[in-house]
Amino acid sequence: MRRLVLAVGLFVPFCLHAQPQTAATVEPASGVRAEQPWARATAPRQTVGGAYVTLTSPVDDRLVGASSPVGRAEVHEMTMDGQVMRMREQKNGVALPAGKPVALAPGGYHIMLMDLQKPLVAGQVIAIQLRFQHAPPMDLEVKVAPIGAQGPNMEHAH
């Protein structure tokens, strides 16, 4: 009995500090949600490409790396330095705050695909694995959108 009381005594303050809904419904760290993964087709001879996805983690996590059979994959951020576009590998990954969708999208964070063996062709589906600080690796099937696409559903754009 004494042990039970002690356990309850420790648990209650913890509950009071947690969010009311999430205390009961915390998803496992593996519950990262990936929405609309897509990559952009590449021109012949182009050996680099970009892939994009919106990630929502139920708990604070970080996207720390990626890999793909099509080439070397790195997590990058694109920024504008005046008129100059710069890309940097995110050595510390990209923060995924609990419950907040984080978009990897043209002009910002992206999965950089390098040393492509073959061009990425519109309509093709490529495999990309994402690695997280806490959640287990996630395998994505990434649809390739046409060259110049700004999003996953731009096949009829002019």
Q: What is the contact surface with Cu ion in residues (CB under 5 A)? A: 76, 87, 112
Q: Rank residues 63 and 112 by Cβ distance to Cu ion and give the closer one.
A: 112
Which residue, 55 or 58, has its beta carbon nearer to Cu ion?
A: 55
The distance of closest approach from Cβ of residue 87 to Cu ion in the complex, given in angstroms and rounded to an integer, is 4
Question: By C-beta, is 40 or 76 nearer to Cu ion?
Answer: 76
| CA–CA gap between residue 52 and residue 50 (Å, rounded) | 7
Cβ of residue 104: shortest distance to Cu ion, in angstroms?
11
* Closer of 30 and 150 to Cu ion (Cβ): 150
Contact (CB, 8 A) for 52 and 106 = yes
Q: Which of 121, 106, 118 is nearest to 51 (CA)?
A: 106
d(CA 146, CA 155) in angstroms, rounded, equals 6
Taking the complex as a whole, the smallest distance from the CB of residue 89 to Cu ion amounts, in Å, to 8
| Shortest reach from residue 14's CB to Cu ion, in Å | 42
Cβ–Cβ under 8 Å, residues 140 and 107: no
Those residues whose C-beta lies under 8 Å from the C-beta of residue 7, and which sit 6 or more positions away, are none
Question: What is the residue whose two structure tokens read 């929405």?
Answer: 35
